[in-house]
């Protein structure tokens, strides 16, 4: 499954410059606006079964991500201070973040299909010890993002909708 759209990489974060690059995608039988709603409600992410994760929005309404939103995202022992830098409703969102000397960029694309939407998430990291740990962490991050996509599929808002072809609820 490959989307025809690509991430709008800032040059600094482009995979060709990164020590770590992870890409995951899945088909979700839901409309783009439903998927979008789940993604931008960042404080709800830990409720998707993402143990040891928390999100705190530091400006704005404290509920939804928007362009320019600052948020702190904690995943296990790491915490990234992030800023939403791309925000096109129902289509794409991206943020850049920093954890010590590590710089990261994380982007999401939502592409409607006949069966719902293909959701792509792609992330890069550079700096700090990323060059040394990439052999060990890229699998972990890939698995973490897969669980994130699986959690997104299971959200009640996404499960309620059938795909446009009536394929039923959720993917297995």
In the three-class reduction of DSSP (H, G, I as helix; E, B as strand; rest coil), residue 72 is classed as strand
Q: What residues make up the domain containing 104?
A: 14-160
Are the beta carbons of 106 and 95 closer than 8 angstroms?
yes
Report the first-to-last Cα separation within the chain, whole angstroms: 16
Query: What's the CATH number where 147 sits?
Result: 3.30.530.20
DSSP for 19-61, please give it: SEEEEEEEEESS-HHHHHHHHH-GGGGGGGT-TTEEEEE-STT
In a domain, 31, yes or no: yes
Cβ(92)–Cβ(110) under 8 Å? yes
pLDDT score of 121: 93
Assign 80 to helix, strand or coil: strand
| 40 within some domain | yes
- pLDDT value at position 117? 95
Task: Tell whether 101 is covered by a domain.
Answer: yes
The secondary structure of 89-158, three-state, reads CCCEEEEEEEECCEEEEEEEEEEEECCEEEEEEEEEEECCCHHHHHHHHHHHHHHHHHHHHHHHHCCHHH
Q: Is residue 6 part of a domain?
A: no
Q: Which of 86, 80, 73, 126 is nearest to 6 (CA)?
A: 86
For 2, residues 6+ apart whose C-beta sits below 8 A from its C-beta are: 25
| Separation of alpha carbons 131 and 152, rounded Å | 30
User: Can you give the pLDDT at residue 155?
Assistant: 78
DSSP 8-state code for residue 163? P
- Quote the pLDDT of residue 3: 44
> Would you state the pLDDT for residue 165?
34
Contact 37, 31 (CB under 8 A): no
The domain total for the chain is: 1
* In-domain check, residue 47: yes
Residue 64 belongs to some domain of the structure: yes
Residues of the chain with pLDDT under 50: 1-4, 160-172
């Amino acid at each position: 499954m490959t989307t025809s759209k690509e991430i709008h990489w800032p040059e600094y974060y482009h995979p060709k410059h990164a020590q770590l690059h992870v890409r995951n995608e899945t088909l979700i039988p839901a409309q783009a606006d439903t998927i979008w709603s789940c993604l931008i409600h960042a404080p709800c992410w830990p409720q998707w079964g993402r143990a040891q994760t928390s999100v705190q929005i530091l400006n704005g309404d404290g509920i939804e991500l928007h362009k320019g939103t600052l948020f702190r995202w904690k995943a296990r022992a790491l915490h990234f201070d992030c800023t939403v830098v791309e925000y096109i409703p129902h289509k794409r969102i991206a943020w850049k973040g920093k954890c010590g000397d590590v710089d990261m960029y994380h982007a999401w694309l939502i592409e409607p299909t006949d069966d719902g939407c293909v959701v792509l998430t792609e992330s890069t990291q550079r700096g700090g010890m990323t060059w040394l740990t990439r052999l060990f962490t890229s699998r972990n991050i890939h698995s973490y993002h897969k669980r994130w996509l699986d959690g997104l599929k299971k959200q009640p808002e996404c499960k309620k909708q059938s795909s446009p072809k009536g394929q039923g609820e959720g993917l297995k």
